[in-house]
Chain A
């Protein structure tokens, strides 16, 4: 059988953003019957398209699959194949499987470990399922990809630390304060990074956000966005008493907050800790603030350092993750091979013989004093029963295997029904299917 899994795609490493834009398939979801229709040599297909990558995964038969897919892809975008081909990577068989697992585990991402890709892959898969474009192999492959991604997340530290400045700041705040819901933050000045940090703080459940901006109106706009409160810039120091986290990013030429100002504030706060995040260049907050007890100050360079350490750590963890992907690819290939008829029949017969032997031992224990003859007779009888039980399923499988489409499906069902792969299946497996019905 020359049916195989193919993966054709491009990503941020093989193509520039212009090329990626030109060949993105994000807008082609409405296309019926899909970018790569399931017909002819294509048996199953799904498309993942994000701003950093396009991955087309198909199960196909014959030699022309790759060219056919690239043709479909170019057609969908109204472009020439020659413009697309140089940027495209083509994986077949286990290489394709491994690539998909790597992508799903976010090891191939621009920022290794970022979690969005898994969600995007899930969405893409569900679209393909809705379009009825997946069968046994892609279903199994994608579910496996999701579980590999989960394993990588829980067993390695690939996604465990912050790799953006604003997120690193929030992580630090959590290290100082713990549960955010009792604390408030203040933005001094507005800027993209400050807004991002504020968003992260809100997502972590911070109680309230105050905004102090030189132009009050601009501050008000920003405050509205975060459901917060704008305060006059001149009131800054009286308001500092109320807030625990201060994110400063003004365009001031020299420090606007110094230790001597904060000393009074601390007294009024009864020394409750304060965390200053200074992302302005030049800095807004005098470094001597960090010398005060219960006050922590991080400037942009400190945060950058944290991010770099975290990134280096992620790279290390990525090595571990690759080993997981490797071994899971092997597991999947074993299953793929078992989809053929003969191994399944052998497994089925072996399974029933194993059960016979197990039960025989129990029987002999109960039949105290029985001799070898009894054992022989018992074994014969039990094997005969097992054979008769297996006969119908096996001949059913043989009949179905001759029909084209159904063969894989029934073999897969048989394997699952008798649990020939010794999978552990938890109660909520395929929950999304159940909901739909």
Chain B
């Protein structure tokens, strides 16, 4: 086992511990466990950051396709920690820890596939493309988790159904809506930058803007849905259930686009070619 494998294993263990602890903490209603879960995820995240940085600095930096997924897993936690720090939303760990763990583990199925290193002068657009899209994906994931709980809780309050202990431990409806707000308000501009830089990079690297790739088509579709939601929230005052549902759909399409297209379809975004 080399050092990188050892680190990866340690990160997986820490993320798995974080996942188990947050679930246990929620079920047993112990704040102590939830706190521990967060710190376990923080430790894993620190190692994870170090590993990504080390790989990037390394002289033989080969951008394996697994690296992207690891970076996506990292972005997800980055967004979670940001929201945790700014808004004290530790319940989002219920979405963040398991997803980050699954993505991180999943990344190892792709480590053997090598991508090609982007040219120096296009690297900036490429980095921008990946970074902003991954961050907006992280935001959507958080709003997705918040949206699911919001819809359950909102229905119960509206129909006067009896609340379970789980419901009672959850934050107020307004808090969930704020996650949605942040995700849409910050996520849409990030997504737009990501798309634009992608097209610019395509123009510079391949000489053409559009290539009728399935990934491109779905992404443009997602952009339109996102833009529409952004507009509705901002101008029409959409909030609550409608906004939550819209984000859930948006995230579902993004996941489909990530797994369905990048893995199973012929595309220049492919993870397996």
Interface of A toward B, CB cutoff 8 Å: 160-161, 172, 174-179, 267, 269-273, 290, 293-294, 296, 298, 302, 305-306, 309
Contact = CB atoms under 8 A, between A and B. Distances in A.
A296 B241 CA distance: 13
Contact of A296 (B158, B237, B242): B158
Interface string B212-243: 00000000000000000000000001111110
A178 B171 contact: yes
B160 A176 contact: no
B174 A177 contact: yes
Contact of A273 (B162, B168, B173): B173
A266 to B, nearest CB: 8
B172 interface: yes
B175 interface: yes
Contacts of B173: 175-178, 273
Nearest to B178: A178
B239 A178 contact: no
A129 to B, nearest CB: 35
Contacts of A302: 160
B172 A293 contact: no
A273 B174 contact: yes
Contacts of A309: 162
B179 to A, nearest CB: 12
Interface string B155-188: 0011010110000100111110000000000000
B237 A298 contact: no
Given A178-B172, A178-B174, A271 B158 contact: no
A161 B168 CA distance: 10
14 contacts: A176-B172, A176-B173, A176-B174, A270-B237, A270-B239, A271-B238, A272-B239, A273-B173, A273-B239, A273-B240, A296-B157, A296-B158, A302-B160, A309-B162
B160 A298 contact: yes
Given A298-B160, A305-B160, A309-B162, A293 B240 contact: yes
Contact of B240 (A175, A269, A271, A290): A271
Nearest to A306: B160
Contacts of A176: 157, 172-174
Nearest to A297: B158
Contacts of B153: 175
A135 B238 CA distance: 66
Given A178-B172, A178-B174, A273-B240, 9 more contacts: A175-B157, A175-B173, A178-B175, A267-B237, A272-B237, A273-B174, A298-B160, A305-B160, A306-B160
Nearest to B243: A271
Nearest to B165: A157
Contact of A175 (B172, B237, B238, B239): B172
B157 A172 contact: yes
Contacts of B160: 298, 302, 305-306
A293 B174 contact: no
Interface of B: 153, 157-158, 160, 162-163, 168, 171-175, 237-242
A309 B168 CA distance: 14
A178 B171 CA distance: 7
Nearest to A160: B168
Nearest to B177: A273
Contacts of B175: 178
A173 to B, nearest CB: 9
A213 to B, nearest CB: 28
Nearest to A291: B158
Contacts of B238: 271
A302 B245 CA distance: 27
A177 B239 CA distance: 13
Contacts of A293: 240-242
Contacts of A273: 173-174, 239-240
A293 B241 CA distance: 8
A290 B174 contact: no
B27 to A, nearest CB: 15
Lowest 7 A-B CB distances belong to which pairs?
A: A270-B237, A178-B172, A271-B237, A294-B240, A178-B174, A176-B173, A302-B160
B168 to A, nearest CB: 8
A294 B239 CA distance: 8
Contacts of A267: 237
A290 B155 CA distance: 11
Contacts of B158: 290, 296
Contacts of A175: 153, 157, 163, 172-173
Nearest to A182: B174
A177 B172 contact: yes
Contacts of B242: 293
Contacts of A272: 237, 239
A121 to B, nearest CB: 28
Nearest to B172: A178
Contacts of B241: 293-294
B175 to A, nearest CB: 5
Contacts of A178: 171-175
Most A CB contacts (10 A, CB to CB) among B162, B174, B175, B238 go to B174
Nearest to A157: B165
Nearest to B242: A293
A302 B157 CA distance: 11
A179 B168 CA distance: 15
B50 to A, nearest CB: 37
A160 B165 CA distance: 11
A305 B242 CA distance: 28
A290 B242 CA distance: 16
Contacts of B157: 172, 175-176, 296
Nearest to A177: B174
A298 B156 CA distance: 12
A175 B241 CA distance: 15
A305 B159 CA distance: 12
A271 B239 contact: yes
Contacts of A306: 160
A294 B175 CA distance: 14
Nearest to A175: B172
